Structure 1
Amino acid sequence: MTMHFPWGTTDVVDLPTVGTPVDTLTDLSAVPGGPGARLAAARLQAEAFRRELPTTGVPDSVTTCELVTLPYPTRFGLFRASRAIAPFLSITNRMLVIRWHDTDGRPRVLLFEPSDVELGKYTPYFDKLARRTPDVVARRMVTEHGTVLGHLARLGIAPHDVDYLVFDHLHTQDLRRWVGTTRFQADLGERPEPAFPNAKVVVQRDELAAMAELHPLQKPWYQPAAYRHVPAEAFLPIDGSVVLGPGVAVVKTPGHVFGNQSLVLNTSTGIWVSSENVIAAECLTPEHSRLPGLAAWSREWGQEVVLNANTVETTADQYNSIILEKTLADRSQADPRFPQFFPSSELTGAWTNPGTKPTFSHGAITHQA
């Protein structure tokens, strides 16, 4: 298998595949008919995979680590539904640490959303926002809770024991310190050695391809220059959905970006799904939301979910992907009105953002086999 990497190199590199393909989750774009037909197919496929995933087992453990709480436009996070007066809401980005053993007994460690918060600040949208925000205001709106490496040290996980780095998409992500570079990096003052020397980035091939020539709608959210000298061998591009380990799957959920993907976990409380397709569990069941406007908007427009819509690359596909996620997830044991959907960036109440306090928050996924 070969691939031309899109960020400035013309090398053609043989890249291995990873995981077991999920035959029950097919490419919805191949379904005859329009987006409505694809929506119906998404429900049926999700129901089938929901029965299939538990047969693969459960991972050894799932641990949640908070990274940063930051402002995010309300009109993006709650799309057209919110009637909150606050122009910004707060979201908390968290990393999930998943551990399991392969059938041959080999231990595995997967990091989901291991964001380098320091370098992520230079994403064009957030960089421009920071330049316009006085320092005294920024200090009240941004809280850094911990670092990726700090959390791993606390958990007793050595960086060389990490096997997989997975993101729902590569918005805001700068991976140079995680996987190294092939050249000197002027902005870092060094050619960084990889913090995770044995880790591979599992990413949809569609997203890598889309980064070859970003559309104007995409440009505010990517840092393409940060990938120009990342070694191609650091990536494991996949096409579609795969099972990586017992109860651990990466499922293709296009829409928010072309190559969006979700983490799906079978745990002691049932199936969880995590991505940034929505920013709160109640966005999957807005009829139960107390956020101003969500329930009424859902009824008025017949919308079953409320999208996280900072990008509108393929909005109908994103809606269909969220329905797939909603169908896969079990209901919360804490409050069955809400699914076990864990936003990778979860809506967080703050006194500075009136009208945006979530009705319900998961806060963490905790699992121990």
Structure 2
Amino acid sequence: MRFPWGPGDVADLPTVGAGVDTLSDLSRSAEPPGVRLRTARAQARAFRAEFALTGTPDTVVTCDLVTLPYPTRFGLFRASRAIAPFLSITNRMLVIRWRDSDGRPRVLLFEPSDVELGRYTPYFDNLARKTPGVLERRMVREHGTVLGHLARLGIRPDDVDYLMFDHLHTQDLRRWLGTTAHQDDLDARPRAAFPRAKVVVQRDELAGMAELHPLQRPWYQPDTYRDVPPEAFLPIDGSIVLGPGVAVVKTPGHVFGNQSLVVNTSTGIWVSSENVIAAEALTPEHSRLPGIAKWARGWQQEVVLNANTIETTADQYNSAVLEKTLADRSQADPRFLQFFPSSELTGAWTNPGTTPTFSHGHITHGVQPV
């Protein structure tokens, strides 16, 4: 397999943003996991205080992309007693706009998944092959496309500065970034849909993708990166503030280079990632999902992880607690936090016992573009 860089080459790529001294990469600490957990809470509290002073972006808008099936045993790791083997999750894109200190407008797309090409991720491709077409059509619902949503919001593709994902599972970026060679499966050499955009990604994840571990292989499409120009990526090490009220926080565990979006809005601080798939997974004591509250109480677990890959489970747990500490309480229901899963648990009649107790559904901040 060819890849545009090896682990050592990633260090030569440019970076972006202002580093956050308050948050360290605890996955690299020599301390025991329990000590790292205590440190994560303390660091999150300190960062909350300073991040709130950075301001707010101009607008935050949520755009639904696709609802699809996902194994219950992955999404509600060990805790669920639902009879349904699958639950449904809705993938959503967040569009964030702000102005830099010099007045320059910026646009960030968080989770702008190419849904059509993402289906060829080995796990989902294998699942689709085993699922009758009539059943798949009932379980998979497309709501809109990345480019369609941007057109509706009045944003041109060449207005977009940054693309960001919490991690690169399922992502095929060839149509977004273009390629340097003809792609046989696409019968074309794609031109970049976002000609100015750079992908903000943890350096750890790019390095890891150059030589995947067997536990990682079902969830990545590394071959699709072989002809993507390396200069389209902006690797970062750890956490950064990208703009007023916009931060990228490293939250390793789900994958080694996992990262979360943190935004400050008119309702307070929101956090988004796929470390958990429901807001109630961060306050499971308030969940009415079968088994969740009892499991959390019995095992003294304060979060319920999303665990399709368990690269470093203790680190993922600690990252989820860090996210939990950063997020403000929901104004709609203060039992739950302003944590917005990048893939949010969605009720469906086909999946009994998996309808969430509480769902955000969307985030809206500022005046939406016409």
For Structure 1 versus Structure 2, the TM-score category normalised by the shorter chain is over 0.9
- Please tell me whether the aligned partners of residues 283 and 302 of structure 2 are also in contact (alpha carbons under 8 angstroms): yes
Query: Residue 304 of structure 1 is aligned with which of 302, 305, 315?
Result: 302
Task: Give the structure 2 partner of residue 3 of structure 1.
Answer: none
Secondary structure, aligned partner of 1:150: helix
Are 2:190 and 1:184 equivalent residues in the alignment? no
**Which amino acid in structure 1 is aligned with residue 263 of structure 2?**
L
Of residues 9-18 and 87-96 in structure 1, the stretch that sits farther from structure 2 once superposed is 9-18
**Which amino acid in structure 2 is aligned with residue 343 of structure 1?**
P
Query: Residue 211 of structure 1 is aligned with which of 199, 209, 212?
Result: 209
Q: Distance in 1 between matches of 2:71 and 2:130?
A: 14
Are 2:3 and 1:7 equivalent residues in the alignment? yes
Of residues 209-218 and 274-283 in structure 1, the stretch that sits farther from structure 2 once superposed is 209-218
**Which amino acid in structure 2 is aligned with residue 255 of structure 1?**
G
Aligned residues: 365
Are 2:149 and 1:131 equivalent residues in the alignment? no
1:150–1:278 CA distance, 2 compared to 1 (3 A): same
* Correspondence list, 1:37-116, <5 A: 37-116=35-114
Task: Give the structure 1 partner of residue 350 of structure 2.
Answer: 352
Q: Distance in 1 between matches of 2:63 and 2:100?
A: 24
Q: Distance in 2 between matches of 1:183 and 1:321?
A: 38
Q: Distance in 2 between matches of 1:93 and 1:17?
A: 27
Secondary structure, aligned partner of 2:149: helix
* Correspondence list, 1:1-369, <5 A: 7-9=3-5, 14-368=12-366
1:358–1:321 CA distance, 2 compared to 1 (3 A): same
- Please tell me whether the aligned partners of residues 167 and 203 of structure 1 are also in contact (alpha carbons under 8 angstroms): yes
- Please tell me whether the aligned partners of residues 31 and 37 of structure 1 are also in contact (alpha carbons under 8 angstroms): no
1:30–1:121 CA distance, 2 compared to 1 (3 A): closer
Secondary structure, aligned partner of 1:196: coil
**Which amino acid in structure 1 is aligned with residue 227 of structure 2?**
H
Q: Distance in 2 between matches of 1:119 and 1:74?
A: 24
Structure 1 residue 29 displacement after superposition: 3.1
Q: Distance in 2 between matches of 1:9 and 1:323?
A: 33
Q: Distance in 1 between matches of 2:160 and 2:353?
A: 40
Secondary structure, aligned partner of 1:343: coil
**Which amino acid in structure 2 is aligned with residue 160 of structure 1?**
D
1:242–1:219 CA distance, 2 compared to 1 (3 A): same
Structure 1 residue 54 displacement after superposition: 1.1
Secondary structure, aligned partner of 1:67: strand
- Please tell me whether the aligned partners of residues 160 and 198 of structure 1 are also in contact (alpha carbons under 8 angstroms): yes
Structure 2, gaps ≥5 residues long: none
Q: Distance in 1 between matches of 2:23 and 2:270?
A: 17
Structure 1, gaps ≥5 residues long: 1-5
Structure 1 residue 17 displacement after superposition: 1.6
CA RMSD of aligned residues (A): 1.4
Q: Deviations over 1:237-284 (max 9, x none)?
A: 000000000000000000000000000000000000000000000000
Q: Distance in 2 between matches of 1:365 and 1:194?
A: 28
Q: Deviations over 1:131-170 (max 9, x none)?
A: 0000000000000000000000000000000000000000
TM-score by length of 1: 0.97
- Please tell me whether the aligned partners of residues 31 and 41 of structure 1 are also in contact (alpha carbons under 8 angstroms): no
Structure 1 residue 16 displacement after superposition: 2.1
